[in-house]
Amino acid sequence: MAKTELSYTILQLYRFTVVLIGLTVPIRCLFCATLSDVIYSSRIPVYQVDVLSEMPHNPLSFTQGLFFHDGVLYESIGQYGESSLQTLDPKTGEALRVIPLDPALFGEGLSLCDDKIVQLTWREGVAMIYNLSDLAIVGSWRYETEGWGLTTDDRRLIMSDGSPFLYYRSTTDFSLDTKLPVTIAGQPVQWLNELEFVKGRVYANILSEDYIVVIDPTTGNVVEAVDARILREKIPPKFPPDPLNGIAYDSTSGDFFLTGKLWPSIFRVRFVKNIGER
């Protein structure tokens, strides 16, 4: 092989290696970087969960939505044939009222909406509307996507469907206003689940993750996160583990309630920089 041919071959090999590295690094990161890795490498504030108290939660309740209003917890339960809207005593976890859903509906996200309660369904494309006062069903809305999480900023309903988007919808007819991409360190955040709007931020569970992301509702950027792995240590181990899913906020005390699908406990918590700090 002539010297010039050898140089050309080496150059081609070098170029091939550079291209290969360029391709494999993002592929490796795509498949290997966990949400935990991304959160802890993105330099956003990460809060810990300080458990204030623990109360019983029906371990048969497949929690899909949770909010707190006027001293009562409101919970949406999923699964076909088992779905319901329930009110719970926040001190004992006892169910006060149970409103079963049609067995053909799979309950999902739940939010207060003025003097009404709105409950999503998973794949049925229907949102049930209840009177807050007596929990009577007074109507329904239709939508096109799956229904996962639901909350409100008091101007619009904010919905997730398992994709890396938040959907801002009208509180009068549920029409779509804005579809906002959610990102962390420039990467889309997949599997957005149960939601809670608190003090200008959207707190979001992520399916099968023990982390909560805190989203700027204008930019869609994840600006903080909550590492809730400590709760996993407090519930009996199961395989596969049931996901953390359910965030409610008590604006009077400033406490959050957290639970999960089929979890035996609801935790009253605060988010702190370091455990022991109050």
Tokens 């959160």, residue located: 39
Q: Which residues face 258 on adjacent strands?
A: 247, 267
Binding mask 76-105 for Ca ion (x = CB under 5 A): ------------------------------
Binding mask 232-261 for Ca ion (x = CB under 5 A): ---------------x--------------
Tell me which stretch binds Ca ion (CB under 5 A): 2-10, 37-45, 58-66, 135-143: 58-66
Smallest distance from Ca ion to CB 205, Å: 9
Smaller CB separation from Ca ion, 143 or 203: 203
Considering only 66, 118, 184, 258, the residue that binds Ca ion (CB under 5 A) is 66
Interaction with Ca ion in 161-200: which residues (CB under 5 A)?
A: 196
Smaller CB separation from Ca ion, 38 or 61: 61
Q: How many residues bind Ca ion (CB under 5 A)?
A: 4
Contacts from 151-158 at CB under 8 Å and sequence distance 24+? Answer: 151/67, 151/109, 151/111, 151/195, 151/196, 151/197, 151/202, 152/111, 152/112, 152/113, 152/197, 153/197, 153/200, 153/217, 157/111, 157/113, 157/118, 158/195, 158/197, 158/202, 158/217
| CA geometry: angle 204, 206, 207, nearest 5 deg | 140
Tell me which stretch binds Ca ion (CB under 5 A): 67-75, 96-104, 172-180, 222-230: 67-75
Q: Using CA atoms, how far apart are residues 215 and 69, in angstroms rounded to an integer? A: 22
Which H or E run includes 205? Answer: strand 201-206
Smaller CB separation from Ca ion, 111 or 221: 111
Smaller CB separation from Ca ion, 40 or 69: 69
Smallest distance from Ca ion to CB 159, Å: 12
User: Is residue 187 classed as helix, strand or coil in its secondary structure?
Assistant: strand
Smallest distance from Ca ion to CB 203, Å: 8
Interaction with Ca ion in 111-130: which residues (CB under 5 A)?
A: none
Smallest distance from Ca ion to CB 152, Å: 10
Q: Find the Cα–Cα–Cα–Cα dihedral 95, 108, 157, 161, rounded to 10°.
A: 160
Q: Using CA atoms, how far apart are residues 34 and 53, in angstroms rounded to an integer? A: 30
Smaller CB separation from Ca ion, 38 or 86: 86
- 176-194 burial string, b = 16+ CB within 10 Å, else e? eeeebebebeeeebebbbb
Q: What is the DSSP letter of 235?
A: S
Smaller CB separation from Ca ion, 38 or 161: 161
Report the residue number whose CB is nearest to Ca ion.
196
Interaction with Ca ion in 3-32: which residues (CB under 5 A)?
A: none
Smaller CB separation from Ca ion, 38 or 192: 192
Q: Using CA atoms, how far apart are residues 254 and 41, in angstroms rounded to an integer? A: 29
Give the residues lining the site for Ca ion (CB under 5 A): 66-67, 196, 247
